[in-house]
Amino acid sequence: MLSSLPISLPELEREPGKPPILRVGPTDGAANWAAARRDALRAVVAEHGAVVVRGLGMHDPAEVGAVLQGLGVAPVTEREAFAARQTYSDGVYSSSKWPPTQPMCMHHELSYTLEFPGLMLFACLGAPTEGGATAVADSTAVLDALPQALTERFEREGWLLTRSYNEEIGASLEQAFGTEDRGAIEQYCRAHAIECSWQPDGALRTRQRRSAVVRHPVSGRRCWFNQIAFLNEWTMAPEVREYLIDEYGPDGLPFNTRYGNGDPVTEDVVQLLNEVYEAHTARRPWEAGDLLLIDNVRTAHSREPFEGPRDVVVALADPVRLADCSPTVEVTLP
């Protein structure tokens, strides 16, 4: 990696309940500004878990890709997506297609995969008229605030993600695996410790067990790193859950989560998880041109409901292997 130019960052502003923010004056371009300060920016993210950079004035996905390149981090290609996205360039995507009236609750991006992004970039090209913040929560603080008996069980058993792919809800096979070829999908699943089975109607069902608690690959901090609450049936709006169960049956939901031994995660546990996340949530309303950098292992993120047009581009970068994060449950590969 090339060294950054010896240029300092603006003063970091911190306020309770909000992620730290750097306010930028006139620049010669967002990518040049980021490239000149790449090491300092990464240090701020490492220390605080997330930072907003305001004033870069990005206008299109190409600028976001240039900032990603300027930071000198490797892009991550999304696999096993749960919702459709548009791909702009290597590692640069639109936000997941998700109803604007429904929240995307706190989660860590691709935490159910064997390799996930260590760094997330969010760039606001167009702010909504109301709501729509990409909020953050410190995963170490969340872990410490959860009941010890609950976290010890998840640490011991891990968590189970079940998925049912169909042509109507969620990501398609092509979007999730990059192909519709059954043989290639089965090979991918074998290589990534995913149980898979084809249903009589052609739908694919998968199961994968992952660690719910990991250690940060650099700092060694213990982190609550998963999507147990977000992808659970009890986080869905009641009318959505009822419709999906009526349509596909309780075992055919597009996604659901369980304890690692297969026991259901009950509604009260999901509610508790989301309440603890909310108690540790920091948020700032988007302004057009904002950049948000997040340590994906240290920090969970969410997308809040919104009104009006919202254009937020997402970049996945700095690949991290689960095996390098001291997983607490064994992943068995063939």
Q: How many CA atoms lie within 13 A of 139 on its CB side?
A: 30
Is residue 295 a contact partner of residue 32, using CB atoms and an 8 Å limit?
no
Q: What is the pLDDT along the chain (334 residues), one digit of tens a residue?
A: 334 445 789 999 999 999 999 999 888 899 999 999 999 999 999 999 999 999 999 999 999 999 999 999 999 999 999 888 999 999 999 999 889 999 999 999 999 999 999 999 999 999 999 999 999 999 999 999 999 999 999 999 999 999 999 877 888 999 999 999 999 999 999 999 999 999 998 889 999 999 999 999 999 999 999 999 999 999 998 998 999 999 889 889 999 999 999 999 999 999 999 999 999 999 999 999 999 999 999 999 999 999 999 999 999 999 999 999 999 999 877 6
Domain with CATH 3.60.130.10 in the chain: 12-101+114-129+285-321, 141-275
Nearest to 142 by CA among 134, 150, 132, 153: 150
What pLDDT was estimated at residue 211? 98
> Residue 326: CB partners within 8 Å, gap ≥ 6?
214, 215
Q: Which listed CATH number (3.20.20.140, 2.40.50.180, 3.60.130.10, 3.40.50.300) goes with 12-101+114-129+285-321?
A: 3.60.130.10
What pLDDT was estimated at residue 1? 36
What pLDDT was estimated at residue 334? 64
Is residue 118 a contact partner of residue 221, using CB atoms and an 8 Å limit?
no
Cα separation, 243 vs 253, in Å, equals 10
- Alpha carbon of 145 to those of 187, 190, 221, 248, 268: distances in Å? 40, 36, 15, 36, 16
3-state secondary structure the chain: CCCCCCCCCCCEECCCCCCCEEECCCCCCHHHHHHHCHHHHHHHHHHHCEEEEECCCCCCHHHHHHHHHHCCCCECCCCCCCCCCCEEECCEEECCCCCCCCCEEEECCCCCCCEEEEEEEEEEEECCCEECCCCEEEHHHHHHHCCHHHHHHHHHHCEEEEEEECCCCCCCHHHHHCCCCHHHHHHHHHHCCCEEEECCCCCEEEEEEECCEEECCCCCCEEECCCCCCCCHHHCCHHHHHHHHHHHCCCCCCEEEEECCCCECCHHHHHHHHHHHHHCEECCCCCCCCEEEEECCCEEEEECCEECCCEEEEEEEEEEEHHHHCCCCCCCCC
What pLDDT was estimated at residue 70? 96
What pLDDT was estimated at residue 196? 97
Cα separation, 96 vs 259, in Å, equals 26
Neighbours of 155 (CB within 10 A): 19
Q: Which listed CATH number (1.10.3720.10, 3.40.50.970, 3.60.130.10, 1.10.340.30) goes with 141-275?
A: 3.60.130.10
What pLDDT was estimated at residue 164? 95
Cα separation, 41 vs 273, in Å, equals 31
Cα separation, 210 vs 71, in Å, equals 30
Cα separation, 249 vs 244, in Å, equals 7
